Amino acid sequence: MTIYDVSVPISNQLPVWPGDPAIEVTRTGKMEEGSPVNVSQLRMGTHTGTHIDPPFHFLPDGCKVDELPLERLIGPAWLADCRGTREVTREVLAQASIPGDVTRLLLLTDNSAIWENPTHEFDRGFVDIAVSGAEWMVERGIQLVAIDYMSADNIDDENGPAHHVLLPNDVLIIENVDLRHVPPNQCYELICLPLKVQHGDGAPARVVLRTIENVFSTA
């Protein structure tokens, strides 16, 4: 069994979405300065680092992060290889040999290479999910999708069209997973545990993938 930690490390240098709160990790208690313990203060937005978008992120009456059923966040998932494309479209997904009974889908794109440097400047040219790709997921019964950069949507479209297809159809979105070292086109157990932020519009999460026997049908 192999366990892959696909969460990005939170630090003061980690890039955030433009306009989101900056990350502040500050040591407030230092043993080397006489404190009996080491203690830090952490300030950041709810969509910092590896995180989950519940429906409430875009829908005023949507499910909040502390209301998410954990069984949706833990279970078999498929890692699809979508590298070599600027946008994850319907056509890209149709050609990715994704088994028909997959409900949790992870997308390995060229974004993951960005995480070679976790303190890089925000990359505006990241691969996003096209509306047609989001519609394909809804039609296929996908309940959760993960992508390897900060948003499912292009930064130049403030309306969030992919979010507005996925979230109203109860497709949860995990963003900022680092899939560089995970072999694609196979089944894993996904474990995504977001912070239980009361009434939260999102929350940072520790996300891991564990190798398991394939439970899906052929594509």
pLDDT tens over the chain, length 219 residues? 999 999 999 999 999 999 999 999 999 999 999 999 999 999 999 999 999 999 999 999 999 999 999 999 999 999 999 999 999 999 999 999 999 999 999 999 999 999 999 999 999 999 999 999 999 999 999 999 999 999 999 999 989 999 999 999 999 999 999 999 999 999 999 999 999 999 999 999 999 999 999 999 975
pLDDT tens digits for range 28-60: 999 999 999 999 999 999 999 999 999 999 999
User: What fold does the segment set 46-211 form as a domain?
Assistant: Glucose Oxidase; domain 1 (3.50.30)
Q: Residue 219: which of 191, 190, 186, 189 has the closest Cα? A: 186
Q: Where are the domains of the chain?
A: 46-211
Neighbours of 152 (CB within 10 A): 27
Catalytic residue numbers, as ranges: 57
Residues 6+ apart with CB under 8 A from 205: 7, 50, 51, 52, 174, 192, 193, 194, 195
pTM for the full model?
A: 0.96
The answer to whether the CB of 151 falls within 8 A of the CB of 166 is no
